[in-house]
Structures are given as C-alpha cells and as structure tokens.
Amino acid sequence: MRFDILTIFSEILSGFFSAGILAQAQAKGLIDVRLHDLREFSCDPHRMVDDRPYGGGPGMVMQVGPFVRGIEAIRREVNGRTRVILLSSQGRLFRQADAVRWAMLDGLLLLCGRYEGVDERVTSFVDEEISIGNYVLTGGETAAAVVIEAVARMIPGVVGKLESVEKDSFFNKDHLGPPQYTRPPVFRGLSVPDVLLSGDHAKIEAFRNRKAWEKTACNRPDLLGLDIDRGNSNG
C-alpha cells in the first residue's frame, strides 16, 4: 500500500518511518511511504503557501491552490483505489474501523495543515476530513504519523502475528484490551495475578475479559455509554 503525505515540514516525519515495524514493512515492500513538499506546488515565486485570512483575524491560512495541485499531481502517480484525507481538528474522529477500511485501499494521500488551518475550499477536493482527537495540534504531521501506523498495522504481514492485532484495543470490539504482564513475577511488592501463572487457559481468558471491561469502565466510560466526568473536582 502506498502512503503519500503532503506537508511543508517533511523532515518532521522522515525519522518516524525509518525505524521499527514501519521501516521493516517498507523493506519488505508491504508499504511505500512518500513525503511531498507542499511548496513544490506553489505558483508564488517565493514558494509561499499561506496568506492572510479574508474577513480578518490572527495568523495565516494555508491556500487552496497548492493543495489542489498537489492532490492532482500525486493522484496521477497512484494506480488503483485511493482516498484523499485532510487532517484537521474540525474533522470527524478517526477510529479503528477507518484503519481497517483504509488498509484495503491501494493508496492513501494525507494532507497536513498548519498555522490557523487551511482554506475551507480544500474540503471540496478531499474524500474525508479527519481528526485524531479532541485537541489541537500545531500541524497535521503528527496526525499523519498516527493514521499511517494505525492503517499499516491492518495490512497482512506488517505485524508478525495476526493474533497480536486481534488482541488490540478497539479491534472489532467496543472495549479496551486487558492489562498485560511479563517478567519478573514480583517487582517492588507488586505481583503478577496468580491466575496468569496458573496455566489454566479458560480461567486466564475469563480473567482477561473481566479486567478488560473493568479497565474500559474506569478509563473510557464513554465507550460504555456512561456519562462520567472525572476531570472536574472542587477538592
């Protein structure tokens, strides 16, 4: 699968894809990550890609032209099914189901905004507008890295064992994964639960399932439809 990233700061991402599972996946030919400089698609003699916002306001807004020319140029290079994704704090929330769906494509083109955002007209040339969370980042590069890693994990062969993927939180389920332990069995008075050392696979599975639901209720009650605000306290 081919991943294309359109950004003004490709150096932020180059190191991210040069190590670990993603580097191995590239070496095996399972994925192909390409970084594109948005400034290459600017018609300005100084390669400017931003300007002051119409209507006034602080900061600068990224222009529609460079993004559209970049989209068109890159799409001409990609064969097969591909989607163009704008990474934006105003987009809908990225979910595991998106990673599974996009992993079946031939290509994914990710647009990284900066400054006060991108010209709204860019959305007319993309397939989806995505946010990775309810917070604001300096730019879309971090979000692009998150999306690519999540999608790449769903491509057969990228992660060594399919079972490792199937045990992940959010993979075909509406709760978190269970807590995990490894050696040593005791560390500073904290012990691994006895059941995990018992060898009784039925009891281990039941324990992990119970703990997964308990962890979900504690850390992500929203997944269970519970409206619990743990952040407000007058104490």
**Region for residue 170 given its phi and psi (left: phi exceeds 0; alpha: psi -120 to 50; beta: otherwise):** left
The pLDDT score that the predictor gives to residue 137 is 93
The pLDDT score that the predictor gives to residue 170 is 56
What separation in angstroms does the CA of 134 have from each of 92, 96, 123, 145, 221? 10, 16, 20, 17, 16
The predicted-structure confidence for 44-91, as pLDDT tens digits, reads as follows 999 999 999 999 989 999 999 999 999 999 999 998 999 999 999 999
The pLDDT score that the predictor gives to residue 162 is 59
The pLDDT score that the predictor gives to residue 167 is 54
The pLDDT score that the predictor gives to residue 117 is 92
| Mean pLDDT across 108-122 | 95
Relative orientation angle of helices 141-152 and 20-27, to the nearest 10 degrees? 60
pLDDT band at residue 233 using 50, 70 and 90 as cut-offs: very low
| Mean pLDDT across 196-216 | 94
| Mean pLDDT across 99-103 | 97
pLDDT of 99 higher than 60? yes
The pLDDT score that the predictor gives to residue 232 is 45
The predicted-structure confidence for 130-181, as pLDDT tens digits, reads as follows 999 999 999 999 999 999 999 999 999 999 765 555 555 555 557 888 899 9
The pLDDT score that the predictor gives to residue 235 is 37
Cα 70 to Cα 143: distance, rounded to the nearest angstrom? 19
Residue type, 154: M
Residue type, 157: G
Which fold, 173-224?
Answer: Trp Operon Repressor; Chain A (1.10.1270)
Q: Locate tokens 């119409």: which residue?
A: 54
Q: Which CATH class is domain 2-152?
A: alpha beta
| Mean pLDDT across 216-233 | 73
Token pair, residue 9, equals 């700061």
Quick one: which H or E segment has residue 187?
Answer: strand 186-187
Domains of the chain: which residue ranges? 2-152, 173-224
The pLDDT score that the predictor gives to residue 165 is 59
Angle among Cα 165, 167, 171 to the nearest 5 degrees reads: 70
Percentage, residues of the chain above pLDDT 70:
91
Count other C-beta atoms under 10 Å from residue 124's C-beta: 9
Count other C-beta atoms under 10 Å from residue 87's C-beta: 28
Are the C-beta atoms of 195 and 204 separated by less than 8 Å?
yes
Count other C-beta atoms under 10 Å from residue 138's C-beta: 10
| Mean pLDDT across 21-35 | 97
Mean pLDDT taken over the chain: 91
Angle among Cα 85, 223, 173 to the nearest 5 degrees reads: 75
